[in-house]
Amino acid sequence: MAASEPTDAPRRPRGRPRKPLGDANERSATRERLIRIGLEVLSETGWDATGLARVLKEAKVPKGSFYHYFSSKDDFGLAVVAAYEAYFAERLARSFGNTALSLPEQLATFIDAGRRGLIKHAFPRGCIVGNLGQELGGVNPVFRTALAGVFERWEAALADALAQAQACEALADDVDPQAAARFFWMGWEGAVLRAKLAASVQPVDEFEAGYFRYLNLPAPEVSPGELPPSARSN
Amino acid sequence: MAASEPTDAPRRPRGRPRKPLGDANERSATRERLIRIGLEVLSETGWDATGLARVLKEAKVPKGSFYHYFSSKDDFGLAVVAAYEAYFAERLARSFGNTALSLPEQLATFIDAGRRGLIKHAFPRGCIVGNLGQELGGVNPVFRTALAGVFERWEAALADALAQAQACEALADDVDPQAAARFFWMGWEGAVLRAKLAASVQPVDEFEAGYFRYLNLPAPEVSPGELPPSARSN
């Protein structure tokens, strides 16, 4: 559990009642601000490297009032994970949840959004759920359960799309939608990791081609004109 | 670069000549001990969470003599990565490098060793290269280059095995060995991450089945008798 000890979290004041720090609206707005900044910081660095001090400073929140907004550093981290999932839900709705698209189009839409995200942020950012899973999955049971739950819901979204494609005979019967959805997310996390290391979207392109091969579907054309050439080389 | 600052590294003493700390053999033995303990600690926690103090304490090395063995915390981390790659080279030689095995047997041998490793360590450990890549790949160029190099060498080992299978007509001609090798490692890193989160080898089983499907090879039989039932459920 060492990795979840709030080593850099401010000390909770003892034996004193909490001072009121503004009304409920203000508290809620500050909490949201801390979560938003936490999302940025956590997508670049690890959990233990995330100086809460840096988050509080950027949010202009005095160090002593952290526990007014969150009960612990873990509580803050879980709120950031929930916010990431909420942001990600829109992206899933636009791809796997969009029944106006064919399955290949759904997959290409999801993958392309990831490709653009990596380029936009010049690659240092990755998937918060993947990052935290690697760092804390083995050592922090609270995060392990939360992160496994996020992956299960992401898998369910894709499994539904795969099952629907199967119902329309747009996907072979011998594909197990659940297994195929899990296979997708394993590879996707690996592709994002490799794209970060290579500072290139090529691993994402290769994952896309591989996953289409796995499903036995023709791979979609990548539209190279829409990506800067620098993103296609090392 | 913030993530690579040696925040918990001991301060290098200034303006004083280093005291001799034993002969070259002793120095080398202590260095090896620090690397071995670093391997254990780093496979459980993140880089920034890896208190060098903990490593030094377990190695019974006084804090002040760290720079006798390594020039920086990064230098130590890179030595740990190199040691991990050396350990891993044996596993690759026994699987993808073993020409007495068929391609499906080579893949199954490699994957099974990973499965056993996860069970033996009751899942908290993962792949050091994957862990460090997630945490530092985006922010630390020195680690990024080193880790990308490790993945490239691992890919080359599998790409060779795939090309040899193709030469023996044991693998379809339309598989690109390089691309298929990269697709393997992306999925493998994801499978190990998910196994950690699920505390189960099921993601590894599913990755194996998926990769065989991708290669259009019949999946090998998993020998369930050799794994404890607890490892097959959540």
* pLDDT tens digits, B140-194: 888 888 988 898 999 999 999 999 999 999 999 999 999 999 999 999 988 988 8
Q: What is the mean pLDDT of residues B197-214?
A: 92
Q: What is the mean pLDDT of residues A113-141?
A: 76
- Test B190 with A189 for CB contact under 8 angstroms: yes
Q: Is residue A212 part of a domain?
A: yes
Q: Is residue B160 part of a domain?
A: yes
Rounded Cα gap, residues A142 and A110, in angstroms: 29
Neighbours of A142 (CB within 10 A): 15
The band of A10, judged by pLDDT with boundaries at 50, 70 and 90, is low
pLDDT at B211 over 70: yes
Q: Is residue A32 part of a domain?
A: no
pLDDT at B107: 96
B contacts of A180 (beta carbons < 8 Å)? 210
The CA-based dihedral angle spanning residues B222, A179, A152, A218, taken in that order and rounded to the nearest 10 degrees: 140
The encoded tokens of residue A148 equal 């496994």
Q: Is residue A101 part of a domain?
A: yes
Cβ(B139)–Cβ(A44) below 8 Å: yes
More confident residue, B90 or B43: B90
Q: Is residue A45 part of a domain?
A: no
pLDDT at B2 over 50: no
Nearest CB to A45 within list B139, B179, B185: B139
| Number of domains making up chain A | 1
Expressed in percent and rounded to 5, the helix, strand and coil fractions of chain A are: 65, 0, 35
- Test A131 with B134 for CB contact under 8 angstroms: yes
The band of A2, judged by pLDDT with boundaries at 50, 70 and 90, is very low
Full residue range of the structural domain in which residue A177 is found: 73-232
Q: Is residue B23 part of a domain?
A: no
- Test B139 with A133 for CB contact under 8 angstroms: no
Q: Which amino acid is at A149?
A: G
| % of chain A with per-residue pLDDT over 90 | 41
Tell whether A141 is within 8 A of chain B (Cβ). Answer: no
Q: What is the pLDDT of chain B when averaged over all its residues?
A: 82
Nearest CB to B135 within list A131, A185, A210: A131
pLDDT at A186: 93
Q: What is the mean pLDDT of residues B1-16?
A: 48
Contacts of B137-142 spanning 24+ positions with Cβ under 8 A: B137/A126, B137/A193, B137/A196, B137/A197, B138/A44, B138/A123, B138/A124, B138/A125, B138/A126, B138/A196, B139/A44, B139/A45, B139/A124, B139/B1, B139/B2, B139/B3, B139/B4, B140/B1, B140/B3, B140/B4, B140/B74, B142/B4, B142/B74, B142/B78
pLDDT at B224 over 80: no
pLDDT at B55: 87
More confident residue, B19 or B143: B143
How distant is the Cα of B137 from the closest Cα of chain A, in angstroms? 5
pLDDT at B225: 40
Q: Is residue B3 part of a domain?
A: no
- Test A179 with B209 for CB contact under 8 angstroms: yes
* pLDDT tens digits, B90-149: 999 999 999 999 999 999 999 999 999 888 776 566 677 777 777 777 678 888 889 888
Q: Which of residues 77-116 of B touch A (CB under 8 A)?
A: none
Nearest residue on chain A to B148, alpha-carbon basis: A197
* pLDDT tens digits, A14-50: 554 455 556 788 888 899 999 998 888 887 776 776 6
Q: Is residue A95 part of a domain?
A: yes
The band of B221, judged by pLDDT with boundaries at 50, 70 and 90, is low
Q: What is the CATH number of the domain that holds A205?
A: 1.10.357.10
pLDDT at B40: 83
E strands within chain B? none
